[in-house]
Structure 1
Amino acid sequence: MLFLWLKALHVSFMVAWFAGLFYLPRLFVYHAEATDEIGRERFSIMERRLSKLMSIAALGTIAFGIWMLTMLGGGWLAVNGWFHAKLALVVLLIGFHGWCQVQVKKFREDRATGTPKFYRLMNEVPAVILLLIMILVFVQPF
Structure 2
Amino acid sequence: MQFLIEYSLWLKALHLIFIVSWFAGIFYLPRIFVNIQLTDSQEVKDHLNIMARKLYRFITPFMVLTIIFGTLLTIVSWGYLKAAGWFHTKMVLIALLVAYHFVCGHYRKLLEENKCNKSHVFFRYFNEFPVLVLFAAVILAVVKPY
Tell me, what secondary structure is at the counterpart of 1:59?
helix
Q: 2:28 aligns with which of 19, 23, 29?
A: 23
Counterpart in the other structure of 1:107: 111
TM-score with structure 1 setting the length: 0.96
Counterpart in the other structure of 2:3: none
Counterpart in the other structure of 2:91: 87
Distance 2:112 2:33 in 1: 11
Counterpart in the other structure of 2:102: 98
Give, as a single letter, the amino acid of the residue that structure 2 aligns with 1:137: A
Distance 2:76 2:116 in 1: 43
Q: 1:64 aligns with which of 47, 65, 69?
A: 69
Distance 1:34 1:42 in 2: 11
Say if 2:93 and 2:137, in contact at 8 Å, map to a contact too: yes
- Which runs of no fewer than 5 residues in structure 1 stay unpaired? none
Distance 1:79 1:22 in 2: 30
Counterpart in the other structure of 1:54: 59
**TM-align CA RMSD:** 0.9
Percent of residue pairs bearing the same amino acid type = 37
Report the alpha carbon displacement of residue 54 of structure 1 after superposing the two structures with TM. Answer: 1.2
Give, as a single letter, the amino acid of the residue that structure 1 aligns with 2:96: L
Distance 1:96 1:135 in 2: 20
Cα offsets for 1:12-47 (capped at 9, x unmatched): 000010001110000000000111111010011000
Task: Write out the 4+ residue segments of structure 1 that deviate beyond 3 Å after TM superposition.
Answer: none
Report the alpha carbon displacement of residue 81 of structure 1 after superposing the two structures with TM. Answer: 2.0
Cα offsets for 1:30-82 (capped at 9, x unmatched): 00011111101001100000001110110110000011111122x44113321
Report the alpha carbon displacement of residue 133 of structure 1 after superposing the two structures with TM. Answer: 0.4
Distance 2:143 2:116 in 1: 39
